[in-house]
Structure 1
C-alpha cells in the first residue's frame, strides 16, 4: 500500500484499531512503572465523554444526505479539552478515542492547561463542493455546540479540515451566542483571530526539538541528513526549517511516492514541482522511491509525517536513522519500539515531537480570550521555550528511569493528569 500524506489522508480501519491498542499499551506501561492505583487507571483508560451525532446536509443537487460525526473528550481534569476535527471517509470512533487520549498526554507533557479531545465526521471532503463542506461544517458545529466552547472544549483543524472550516465553526457558534466568540476554535485565519505562526507550528516545533536532541547526542548540524515521509503542511515545514538550519533533506514523499538524492534535495524546487503537478514524484535531480523505501534510506534523522503504524517489527531492523522524530500520530508500533531501542535508535515520540501545533493553538486561545495579539517572533520564542523544556524533562526522566523517550514522556504526562484527578477528587 502506498502511504498517504498526513495532511491529506489517513490509515486503514485495521491500522486505526491498532492505534487505539498501541495507545492503551503505552498508557499501561507508564501506569505500571508509576505504580498507578487501579482506581486512577480505570478513570484515565477511557474517555470521559463521547458524543455521536447523525445529521442531514443538503447537497447542491437538492438531495439530503445523512452524515455521522463524533466528538470525544478524554479527560477534563487539567482544564478544558483541546483537539482537532477530522473529515475522512474511513474515520472510526476507535481512532477518535485514541487521538483524544493522545491529546491528553500531549497537552500534559507540554504543560498546557488542557485535557484531550478529538472530533471527526465520516466524509470524503474531496467529493463535496465548497458550499456543501460549509453546510456540513455549520450543521456539525451546531450538533456539537452542546459540548464545545472557550471554557469547555476547543476544536482545531486536522486531516481534511482547514482554517476556513474553523472560521465557519466560529461563525456558527457566534451566531448562536449573538456575539463573536473567537476563542471557541483555534487554527483560524489570522484576519478573524488566528495566531501568527500557527500554520507552521507543528513542523517548526519539531525542528526545535530535533536541534536540541541532536546537540544532546553530539551530532553536527551540517552532517544531519533527513528523510521525511509526508509532504503536507507539517512535512514541508520540517523540510524548509531543516534546510534553513543547515541540514540536508535527502528524501521527501507524498501519497504518490517519493524522491531521493543522497547529496540533498533542492527542497524549494521539489515543493514547487509538487504545487505544479500534485506530487513530488518527477522532480528534477532526484531518483524516485516508494514510501516504504524512504523509511530505510541512509540518513541521520527519519521524520514519519504520514500515517500511523508505518514503522513495524517487519521493517524496524532495516531503518538506518539514528533519530526518529514522530511528526505523525502513532507511526511506530510497540513491537518496533522495542527493536529500535535495542539497536540504539532514539525515537522522539509523537506526544513530544508534534506538540508544537497544540502549543501555538494554546497561544491563539489565550490571545483570543484577551483580545491581545502577539508577533510571530514572540510566538516562535514561546514555542521554542515550551518544546525545549518538555524535551529536557523527558531526557531527565529517561536517564533516571533508564527507559526510552516514549516511556519517559508517557510517565511524565500520565503522572500529571493523575495528580490533577487526585487533587480534584471524585465528585460527589
Structure 2
C-alpha cells in the first residue's frame, strides 16, 4: 500500500517497482501522486516539478505480476518547443490531473482478461525525450531540466525478489520508450521472472517524407542532441550505430534480447502526418484532408500510402519471437481504451482482437504475427477513430 506520510510504497513480499505513473481505474478517476523524493536526485519534469504517478494494486493471482505503461506525447527538439511544454502537462506535473484506466490497464476481466488483476502502473510523461534525457546543467534563463532518463532510473528500482511476471508497455513516444528501455527493464527483475515488452504505436520508421527530405531523422537528431540522450540509448545499438539512428526501433531491435510485441497501424496516423507528410513537405496543403481522414485521399495519395506501408513492413523484425499485430486502420494508439483493446466491435485481424493477440503472445499460448491486408480491406476499421 502507499504511505502518504513517507511518500513511499510498502508492499511486503511483492514485486515492488516504484515508477512514475498515473493511476486509472476502468472508467473511474484516480488521484495523482507526486514523487517528491525524486527531486533530490534531479529526476524532474522539464520545468523542475516532481514527476507524478498513479498505481492500482494487483489482487488474487495477479499480486506478483506488474504492468508498467509509459505515457506518450511526442518530443521537444529545441528550447522553444520545450519551454512551450512547461505550460502544460507535457512538461510539468503542475498541470496534470486525474486519469482513468481502461484497455490494457482496465480492471474488467471480460475486456482485459490477461492483465485485469495485475499491479498496474502508468508513467506520466513530462520530459519530451522518451525518458532518455540527462543534462546536468540548467540554463537559468529557461529553467529547462532535460532529465527524462533520471526520472526513469530514479523510479525503476525496488524489491523485486518475488516478481513472477512483468510487462513494460507504452503508447506513441511511450511505446518507443518501452523499446528503448526494454532490456534495462528486464535486468531489473529476477532472471526467473517472465519479462516482456509491448510497444503500441511506437514503431516509428526511418523514412523520407514526400519531398525526399529526412524530416524524422532530423527531428530525432535534434532531440538526442538537446536532451543528451546518447548515453541512455541501448548500448548494444550505440556500439554499432550513430545515436540518432538508435532512436529508431528498426535499428534497436536486432540487438535486443527481451521479447517484444509490436502493435501498430501500417497507416499510422501520426507517422503519416509527421514522417511521411510533415507540414514542411506540403506547403500547399494538398494533403491536408488526406492526412486527417484516409477516406478522403486521392488515388495517387493512396498509392503513396501503400508505398509507406511497404516501407513499414520492411522495417519490421523478422524474428519469430517478436509478436506483431499490424493493422490497416488509419489510427494511432489502440491499447489504452476498451473500444479498441477488446470490445464487441473492436478492430480485429483474422477474428482476433488486440487484447487476445497480446495475451496469447505474453502467455505463450501461441505465436502471434498478424499482418493485415492493404487498406481498405479490414471491415472492422470503421469502428475506430484516430487518436
**Pairwise TM-score range, normalised by the shorter structure:** 0.3 to 0.5
TM-score, length-normalised on structure 1?
A: 0.37
Q: TM-score, normalization: structure 2?
A: 0.40
Considering Cα pairs closer than 8 Å and 6+ residues apart, tell me whether 1 or 2 has the greater RCO. 1
Normalized per residue, the structure richer in helix is 1
